[in-house]
Amino acid sequence: MAHHERHLLHRSGWLRAAVLGANDGIISTASLLMGVAAAGANHQALLMTGIAGLVAGALSMAAGEYVSVSSQTDIEQADLAREAEELQTNPDSELRELTAIYTQRGLSPALAAQVAQALSEHDSLAAHARDELGLHDMNQAQPLQAALASAFAFSSGAALPLITAWLAPHAQAQSWFTVSTLPFLALLGIVAADTGGASRWKSVSRVVLWGALAMAATALIGHWFGVTPV
């Protein structure tokens, strides 16, 4: 009977961008709205602030992810090109280098040399990319995927406190933000933990704690610098 294992590493690229985007969308938008509400803004100003925060944040997250992951891709491609050149100009040295890597991982020198030779004959660049540079197809950087996942996740997260701002009685907006946002963050932590195979408790406690601190800080700033709307 065939043995199948379910690994989750292939999700690391988009999962990181999605969790970061949703977490930032909820926390930054809720905190922004909390601070503006604490400063005494009216209901219309509160909604316009939330919409502006959603649009600006989603575009900023997408641009940041695309630029960041593109830079990572450029580095990976440069390393691969350098490795391909070395394999062309000095294949014996590269073979010894690969052998040394396998020896350090626990193979006997003779077996390491045999494995290095066999893998080099099959696809030397792939062997060096995987075992020397640590590059794998499953965690290869994908800029567009990361940008889209981040923008969509941020918008989804930011929509939650924005809907709360729309539905909440204006006088009770801050309380509504607190009561609604923390469960949203807890749910995000559970989803992230289940998708990535991590501990629910650790994931939930991280996002809830930092979310609560962010909202408390912006609410305090709003009270300090509060203005009476004209």
pLDDT at 138: 53
Q: Is residue 1 part of a domain?
A: no
Find the angle CA(62)-CA(63)-CA(69) to the nearest 5 degrees: 90
CA-CA distance, 187 to 205, in Å (whole number)?
Answer: 11
| Residue 200 pLDDT class (50, 70, 90 cuts) | confident
Residue 49's domain spans which residues? 12-83+140-223
| Residue owning tokens 């690229």 | 13
Q: Are 226 and 34 in contact (CB under 8 A)?
A: no
Residue 129: inside a domain: no
> Of the ranges 13-17, 120-124, 220-224, which one carries the lowest mean pLDDT score?
13-17
CA pair distance 94, 120, nearest whole angstrom? 9
The DSSP line for the chain is: --------GGGHHHHHHHHHHHHHHHHHHHHHHHHHHHTT--HHHHHHHHHHHHHHHHHHHHHHHHHHHHHHHHHHHHHHHHHHHHHHH-HHHHHHHHHHHHHHTT--HHHHHHHHHHHHHHHHHHHHHHHTS---GGG---HHHHHHHHHHHHHHHHHHHHHHHHHS-GGGHHHHHHHHHHHHHHHHHHHHHHHHT--HHHHHHHHHHHHHHHHHHHHHHHHHT-----
Does residue 139 register a pLDDT over 60? Answer: no
Q: How many domains does the chain have?
A: 1
For residue 155, the model assigns a pLDDT of 93
Tell whether the torsion through CA atoms of 182, 49, 214 and 19 is positive or negative: positive
pLDDT for 11-37, tens place per residue? 455 566 677 788 888 888 988 898 888
pLDDT at 3: 43
The two tokens of residue 9 are 């590493």
**29 lies in some domain:** yes
Closest to 51 measured CA to CA, from 197, 161, 209: 161
Q: Is residue 111 part of a domain?
A: no
Residue 98 counted as domain residue: no
Percent of the chain with pLDDT over 70: 86
pLDDT digits (tens, 9 = 90+) for 150-199: 889 899 889 988 998 888 887 888 888 888 888 888 887 887 777 666 77
- Would 230 be classed as within a structural domain? no
Q: Which residue has the tokens 């700033």?
A: 221
Closest CA relative to residue 28, chosen from 227, 209, 218: 218
Establish if 34 belongs to a structural domain. yes
